[in-house]
Amino acid sequence: MPRSRSKGSRWPPPRAGTLKIACPAPTVIPGYFFHLTFDGAWEELPSPNPHHSPAAAAADHALTTARNITVSYLATDAVAAAARINTLLGRPTDIPHLPVRLVWATVQLTADPDAVQAAITHQRRLHEQEQRYAEHNRRLDEAHTLRDTLMSDPSLALSYWFATAPQTIDADTLVRLEELLNTVAAYAPQGQWAPLARLLHTFAHRLTDDVKNHLINTLADLTDRYGHPDITTAIRALRTEPETDTHPQ
């Protein structure tokens, strides 16, 4: 119903009132809520186009502000969330584009036990995820260190191969390996990889086919993975070279 203007006044007398609301407010975990109790006061501002429901406009502004804050908090943080809301709503605020002012507002937040338990579980999972991430990074750093170390010296790469495949070692393996490493040391004293592909032929052809292929594939994968495609090709050539039949027909 239109309000009549008072005599001698350009605008109708401003209205004012109080707010008291109770409703759910979202937490950071979907499906779990705070219980929000809201008290406040509002007043109308002079305008040629007064708002039809200034109380609703004030309530909408206050609840939107509150809910935008609670959605970033866990149910275990009800006190902190309420403090943040009350900090923003504890002083007069003109509602944008409307002739309504929220004079003051205050909220109280509580949470059900199931919401609190969900928050605790959520925090524990985040902690476990952080632990797994830290462990993953630690292992990755170790892998990078191992890669750099193995790529620095062929003898270390061979030692790593034997450590990961002990079943390939037989009675003659250590003798043959010592011969190979002595040759590597003589021809590549700085641990260069280039002579290794040629030297492996003498060492590898005396192994069984399975063990030979395992060794060649391991070293080829190492060199290929870490940026030595030319060496990879040379090493893999050992596996693909056909054996020549020297027996008479």
C-alpha to C-alpha distance for 133 and 120, rounded to whole angstroms: 20
Q: 122 Cβ partners below 8 Å, 6+ apart? A: 28, 29, 74
Share of the chain above pLDDT 70, in %: 61
Of 28, 20, 27, 166, give the one whose Cα is nearest residue 106: 20
pLDDT at 2 over 50: no
Give mean pLDDT, residues 31-52.
Answer: 90
Q: 227 Cβ partners below 8 Å, 6+ apart? A: none
* Residue 217 CA, distance from chain mean position: 34
Report pLDDT for 99.
93
The band of 210, judged by pLDDT with boundaries at 50, 70 and 90, is confident
Q: What is the mean pLDDT of the chain?
A: 76
Q: Which of 90-94, 134-138, 183-187, 222-226 has the highest mean pLDDT?
A: 90-94
DSSP assignment string, 26-48: E-SSTT-EEEEEEEEEEEEPP-S
Alpha-carbon torsion (197, 202, 205, 210), positive or negative: negative
> Which pTM does this prediction carry?
0.52
pLDDT at 45 over 50: yes
Report pLDDT for 163.
60
Report pLDDT for 13.
74
